[in-house]
A and B are shown apart, each in its own frame.
Chain A
Amino acid sequence: MTESRKIMLLEFGWWLVWVQFQAAAIRFAGFDWQLAITDAGISNFILGWEGYVIVIMLRYYQPKQSRIYYLLLWSAALAIICVLMIEFLLGIIYDENAEYLRFLDNTFVMRFGFSFLMLAFISVIGWMWYYLQTQQKDETRKADVEKMSRDAELYSLRQQLQPHFLFNSLNSINALIAVEPEKARTMVQQLSDFFRGTLKRQESHKVTLSEELVQLKLYLDIEKVRFGHRLKTEIIHDEECDKMTIPSLLMQPVVENAIKFGLYDVTGDVLLTIRAEIKDKMLRVCVENPFDPETAVPQKGTGFGLRSIERRLYLLYGRNDLLSTEKEGDIFRTCILIPQTT
């Protein structure tokens, strides 16, 4: 709103200047001051009002650059209305002053020309003002969108790298080098294979279940070295599932979540189970981890990982009912249904 107020203020100042000019001109033409001021006041009042109308119109509709001649058409139309109203009003007020009436007649074209120029000027200025405003807004929006996509990209990159997992694994390797160098070597290999697998795959890509399980197994093996005997894993899958397809790396965050939840929510040993089966011609993969029903605070944090999986499933299959979680005693289960397109 402040920008339109600025425009109005500008217009008002402009208007005052012109009232004085016009009054002086009419006085110079030989009429008295009172008449000169009345004429100038009324003429410019109507003109000013029409200028205001133009600015208001521009606020709601700004013609495109190719249609900028609209501004001239509007100005011409409004200028005619303006002059007709001036002549009519002043003609009524001074209907006994023959000399002045003649003067009005004679100045019709001049008044029209003057009004037209003024209105055209106001509309062009106003148009430019709004044009700049929209451009500026567009630019900030564009910058915002760019920043958002950059942030998202950075986030996904960081997710891919999983610094916490990487640094802890490196720390384990560091410890193994002294005590079990062979095992350290194996872990370096596993870690490399895991990251290579992560980098190679694209989000849109689909792989077979057995390929996805190989990647998950790599991840779990590394985690088992880190957490020692505390972590036990079990992968159960029907043979006919092996050839079914699954979006690549879909299960990775689910398993990470289960590990985080399992290992950090209970203090004893943790059994993590991955179960794959066929259900209603779809592939169903479930991940189970223990949790402590007494202290498990409904966590906002864990929601994020699962929500992004839900979002991905929605983008891939257009369905919102593919991910489900349930609690059974002290077991937390996350299941994903994957429709098979043949």
Chain B
Amino acid sequence: MKVIIIDDEPLARSIVKEYLANYPEVEVVQECGDGFEGVKAIAQHQPDLIFLDIQMPKITGFEMLELIDNPPDVIFTTAFDEYAMQAFDAHAVDYLLKPFGRDRFDKAIQKWKSQANKSAVRPLMEDSVKQPEEHNRVVVKSGNAIKILPTSEIHYIEAYDDYVKIHTKDGFHLKKKTMNFFEKALDVSQFVRVHRSYIIALSQLTKIEMKEKDTHLAKMQSGNLIPMSKTGYLKLKEVLGI
């Protein structure tokens, strides 16, 4: 069984490795110091399990998971307090609070082994534990590169099957998230969901056009016309105070 350890502190990785030495059937195929390396290593090795820290350089562990289409089983290793992590309990195999002893570690491995057969998809809870820096940025994949997109660069967001298209001045990025997620995550004073399938940035709005009675379009600086639902139009009017 293949395992990858992703943590920016070398000693934190070494303790996991040390504890894993008791399990000869488990092989640590790679160690990563940040989420970028993590994404690459997971694509390359397709591990069965990863140990993942949360606070890491550039992108957090949560953001890293968002970039992976079929994430492996995850055991979080973190110094965060228990309450914050409990929200993730159901979505990860387990979470280990640093510093953790061998007993606790063994328990996590047992839990993973007993779950391994019924490897149900465990989507991450979308709006639970957010890091402060995650509130004003979105991590996206563009080609093989990973891009950290400040929310200020978003023009509008469009629903696209299981994905959303995040439109910016350079085109769009796809991300596997729901519209509801973005509606909740983005600053309500700057973004408005004007339609079931559209969220627009107020900074990009230039004009509200009337197509016919009760049907309005939002004209963006880029020239795009975004359809608005009746409730969306009312919400927009309320936010703009008109």
The minimal Cβ–Cβ distance linking A276 to chain B, given in whole angstroms, is: 28
- Are B79 and A175 neighbours in the complex by a CB distance under 8 Å? no
Contact with B along A108-138 (1 / 0, CB 8 A): 0000000000000000000000000000000
Those of A134-188 within 8 Å (CB) of chain B? 163-164, 167-168, 170-176, 178-179
B136 partner residues in chain A, CB cutoff 8 A? 297-300
Q: Are B58 and A171 in contact (CB under 8 A)?
A: no
The binding surface of chain A is classed by DSSP as helix
Nearest-CB residue, chain B, relative to A301: B132
The total of chain B residues at the interface (CB under 8 A) is: 30
Residues of A within 8 A of B55 (CB): 164, 264
A13 on the B face (CB < 8 A):
no
- Give residues of chain B (96-137) contacting chain A, Cβ–Cβ below 8 Å: 97-101, 132-133, 135-137
Distance (Å) between the CB of A259 and the closest chain B CB?
Answer: 12
Interface assignment of B33: CB less than 8 Å from any CB of chain A:
yes
Encode contact with A along B3-29: 1 for CB under 8 Å, 0 otherwise.
000001111101100100000000000
Q: Which residues 209-234 of A have a CB within 8 angstroms of B?
A: 225-228, 230
> Count of chain A residues with Cβ under 8 Å from any Cβ of B?
30
Quick check: is B239 within 8 A (CB to CB) of the other chain?
Answer: no
In the docked arrangement, what's the CA distance between A328 and B12, Å? 33
Contact present for A267 and B36 (CB under 8 Å): yes
Chain B minimum-CB-distance residue to A229: B10
Bound-state CA distance A263–B55 (Å) is: 10
CB 8 Å contact bits of A267-300 with B (1 = contact, 0 = none): 1000000000000000000000000100101111
Chain B 30-52: CB-based contact to A (< 8 A → 1; otherwise 0): 00011010000000000000000
Residue in B18, B33, B99 whose beta carbon sits within 8 Å of that of A178 in the complex: B18
- A301 CA / B99 CA spacing, docked (Å): 26
Q: Are B36 and A175 interface neighbours, CB within 8 A?
A: no
Task: Report the minimal beta-carbon distance from B190 to chain A, rounded to whole angstroms.
Answer: 13
Asked if A265 contacts B58 (CB within 8 A), the reply is yes
The interface of chain B, by Cβ under 8 A from chain A, is 8-12, 14-15, 18, 33-34, 36, 55-58, 79-81, 97-101, 132-133, 135-137, 148, 150
Q: Which 8 A-B pairs have the closest CB atoms?
A: A167-B79, A175-B15, A171-B98, A301-B132, A171-B99, A175-B11, A228-B10, A172-B11
Interface residues of A (CB under 8 A from B): 163-164, 167-168, 170-176, 178-179, 225-228, 230, 263-267, 292, 295, 297-301
Could you list some 30 contacts between A and B, CB below 8 A? Answer: A163-B79, A167-B79, A167-B98, A168-B9, A170-B98, A170-B99, A171-B79, A172-B11, A174-B101, A175-B11, A175-B12, A178-B15, A179-B14, A226-B9, A228-B9, A230-B33, A264-B56, A264-B57, A265-B57, A265-B58, A292-B58, A295-B58, A297-B133, A297-B136, A297-B137, A299-B132, A299-B136, A300-B132, A300-B136, A301-B132
